[in-house]
Amino acid sequence: MTQEFWRWTESRWTAGDRDWKSAKTITAGVDVGSVSSQAVILIDGGLYAYSNMRTGSSSPESAINAMNWALEGTGLSLDQIQYTVGTGYGRVNVPFSNRAVTEIACHGLGAHFLYGPTVRTVLDMGGQDCKVIRTDGQGKVTNFLMNDKCAAGTGRGLEVFADLLGVSINEIGELSLKVEENPPAVSSTCVVFAKTEASGLLREGWSKEKVLAAYCAAMSHRVVTLLNRIGVEPDFAITGGIAKNIGIVSRIEKELQIQALTSKYDTQIAGALGAALLAKALWEKGK
């Protein structure tokens, strides 16, 4: 069995200080992405529990698995959730959802909750896409830009490099900062060509760290180009799996000369969290 270098760490969380039994509203959001799926449960609009796990080959199953994992140990059951919104690439395949909403709207709301009302620009770096979302003070989307055509600047591109170098995807960021001097960025945009280029650099005697530094720099540059096309207004935040990669985040911050806000919660839940917030609004409207 070959080692699965691409495998990232799944997560689960429950609020220790909240009790759903006294709650007036219990709503949920499920984000079924191409690579990861999340379920978020809110009680009275406050974060109660979430899960973040790998998407399997079936969207409905992935949605159910994520939801079951979020519910685990809470004593809460699926039928007690009053309203559920599905989002993400598999949003129409969430069997227990009341409604499907596009991920752009959900990410705006989710980021607003995670990072506070000062956030105006959200960069979401996901498994197979990358989006820039501009929001107002209420988390409403005012403009957005998306790349879902090309693996450059996405988690999938990072996975290719994790495999090539035999480095766990969780360690790429740290390792990429362990260079005395930053090498020039990998020049190819296309991940396929970048891989060929990186193989050549390894043969020239470059260390793994140096190759990773060159690739993280290329990736950061790529998303900064996307960011600049729409304009960055502070405060700025990064969501999605790559927000956990310090090598890419620090390079984006340096290139933009803006610090990104941080959150104590998993950065991958933004979409599902926004969906859960919408679910609450929709439930209250429908009553």
Partner 1 sequence: MVTAGLDVGFKTVKILILKDEVILGQTLFLAGYDVREFLKTIWDEFFLETGISPEQIARIIATGVGKKEALMAQERVTEVSAAAKGSIFLNSQVRTVIDVGAEEGRAIKIDGQGRVIDFAINEKCAAGTGAFIEATARALEVKLEELGPLSLQSTQAVTINAQCAVFAESELVSLVHRKTPKEDMARAVHEAIADRIVSLVRRVGLEKEVMLIGGLAKNVGFLAALQQELEEKVNVPEYPEFTSALGAALIGAGR
Which residues contribute to the site for partner 1 (CB under 8 A)?
57, 128, 149-151, 156-157, 160, 189-193, 196, 200, 203
DSSP string, 110-131: HHHHHH-TT--EEEEE-SS-EE
Q: How far is the CB of 154 from partner 1 (least distance, A)?
A: 9
Minimum distance from CB of 62 to partner 1 (Å)?
A: 13
Could you tell me if 211 and 198 are in contact, meaning their C-beta atoms sit under 8 angstroms apart?
Answer: yes
Q: Phi and psi for 30 in degrees, rounded to 5?
A: -130, 125
Minimum CB separation of residue 200 from partner 1 in Å reads 7
Q: Torsions phi, psi of 167, nearest 5? A: -120, 135
- Cα-Cα-Cα-Cα torsion 93, 33, 168, 255, nearest 10 degrees, comes to 180
CB closer to partner 1 out of 29 and 241: 241
User: Which residue number, 179 or 202, has a Cβ lying nearer to partner 1?
Assistant: 202
CB of 157 or CB of 271, closer to partner 1? 157
> Taking the CB of residue 148, how many other CB atoms lie within 10 A of it?
13
Is 266 strand, coil or helix? coil
Looking at the Cβ atoms of 149 and 285, the one nearer to partner 1 is 149
Q: Judged by CB, which is closer to partner 1: 58, or 142?
A: 58
Q: Which amino acid is at 113?
A: F
Between CA 9 and CA 113 the distance in angstroms is 23
Alpha-carbon gap, residue 209 to 111, rounded angstroms = 32
- In whole angstroms, give the CA distance from residue 36 to residue 128: 10
Shortest separation between residue 82's beta carbon and partner 1, angstroms: 34
Where do the DSSP E strands lie in 33-96?
A: 36-43, 46-54, 83-87
Which pair of tokens denotes residue 161? 């490099």
Q: Which is nearer to partner 1, 142 or 199 (CB)?
A: 199
> In angstroms, what is the minimal distance from the CB of 151 to partner 1?
4
Q: How far is the CB of 73 from partner 1 (least distance, A)?
A: 32
Residue 100 or 150: which CB sits closer to partner 1? 150
State the nearest-atom distance from the C-beta of 94 to partner 1, in Å: 19
